[in-house]
Amino acid sequence: MTSPEYRIEHDTMGEVRVPADKYWGAQTQRSLENFDIGRDHSLMPMEIIRAFAVLKLAAAKANLELGVLTEEKAGIIEKVCREILSGELDDNFPLVVYQTGSGTQSNMNVNEVVANRGNELAAKKLLHPNDDVNKSQSSNDTYPTAMHIAAYEVLSKKLLPALALMRDKLLELEKENAGIIKTGRTHLQDAVPITLGQEISGWRSMLDHAEKMIGDTMGPLRELALGATAVGTGLNAPKGFDKLAAAFIGAELSADYVTAENKFHSLTSKDGMVYSHGAMKALAADLLKIANDIRFLASGPRCGIGELIIPENEPGSSIMPGKVNPTQCEALTMVSVQVMGNDAAIGFAASQGNFELNVFMPVIAYNYIESANLLADAMTSFTGNCLDGLRPNREKIDENMRKSLMLVTALNTHIGYENAASIAKKAHKEGTTLKEAALSLGLVSDEDFDSWVDPEKMV
């Protein structure tokens, strides 16, 4: 029975009551009722919905050009898709990730919203969600297409710009600190000198490499499954639809999208997503290392290493007055850990491509998009709230470097490894300087020691 709050929609299984103020239809409503799983935090990402809008728009244009859809219908479909892209219809996409593994219900959610909103705009029953909006398509090829589009777009428009921002800041710090000589460390133990600029250059180079690796993985993401329909044969899609639709998608997004050469592969294998997320995992590993280096080097302020000074952004303790913690480092490392967990989920889900279809696609897409967004947000926050205010503690750096026993390494080529080791051991045991120990053992002269053990010559 209808009421002011509900209307009756139907599908092949019968009638369903749908909220009167929403544009979705019966299949969306059934999914909404049957999959109440993780609703508070696992809605289908809007990046996927926007990608669906682009592909539905492109499919309508391709169908129009191929003569299987009228100009009126194609025009209304495009108009509604642009409303979706502008965010006007966001509250019409309520489905969760944990639904059918092909993403069929989200595909139908978009089809129903486009059809019902389109009919409202046309002021008549013009569009059918399956026969018109989904023409020449299947959920089996639209969801992997939307997944690739969403992945490519979030990388190019969000993650890579955030990475470049952080990399450029590190390059700036690298140059600013090029002349500061400090203690190098290996195995958490003192090692030979290095400049702070050289140390930072290692961090910067990690991001250079991550940027290239992520870029290398974006090629496979530009390959679209659209046109494969149900099992890869292209049943019910007109000849040329796949290439034409990919071209329209590329034109819409200003990117070189192409139709997948082998549609059977594009439906059942998610190797492109695994490959691309693997590069994000590599970035996460580097970011965790960078954040850890900075928080350890900033440890103290009096009882730690204390060679770096981090911004004081907020109180660090509810009980210890004046305490400041490396909170941006902690946030970045937590994001890195989450991305590594997401990678495990994506890898396992991608391995479950049975016969002609992978049915773990929504969870792959969800975790991929979460990783990209988290990394982008975390790098932006870390750059603005930590790196922008990062400063060297010159006095502490110089103090630590001058008392390092590993400066003795400079003597190796002059007096031999064993003699140099005896100097270091004597200085450590007796708590003296290297020079005092060397002179006491009679292994070098005062003048030679000052000439040979010069940190500036060691970097």
Report whether 61 contacts 248 (CB < 8 A): yes
Question: Distance between terminal CA atoms of the chain?
Answer: 82
Q: Out of 41, 42, 106, 187, pick the active-site residue.
A: 187
How many CB atoms within 10 Å of residue 208?
A: 15
Strands 189-195 and 6-11: unpaired
Cα 432 to Cα 281, 409, 435: the distances in Å are: 46, 17, 8
* Helix-strand-coil split of the chain, %, nearest 5: 60, 10, 30
Rg for the chain, CA atoms, rounded: 30
Nearest CA among 387, 358, 172 for reference residue 271:
358
Residue 91: is it exposed, middle or buried by C-beta count within 10 angstroms (0-12/13-18/19+)?
Answer: exposed
Pairwise CA distance, residues 50 & 90, whole Å: 10
Which residue pairs from 294-299 have beta carbons closer than 8 angstroms and sit at least 24 positions apart in sequence?
294/326, 294/329, 294/386, 294/390, 295/326, 295/329, 295/330, 298/326
The type of residue at 240 is G
| Active-site pick, 86, 317, 445, 451 | 317
Do residues 305 and 400 lie in contact, with contact meaning Cβ atoms separated by under 8 Å? Answer: yes
Q: Is 139 a catalytic residue?
A: no
Please confirm, yes or no, whether 187 is among the known catalytic residues: yes
Helices 327-350 & 271-297 angle (0-180, nearest 10): 160
Quickly count: other Cβ atoms within 10 Å of residue 118's Cβ.
25
Residue 62, φ and ψ in degrees, nearest 5: -65, -45
Give the active site residues: 187, 317
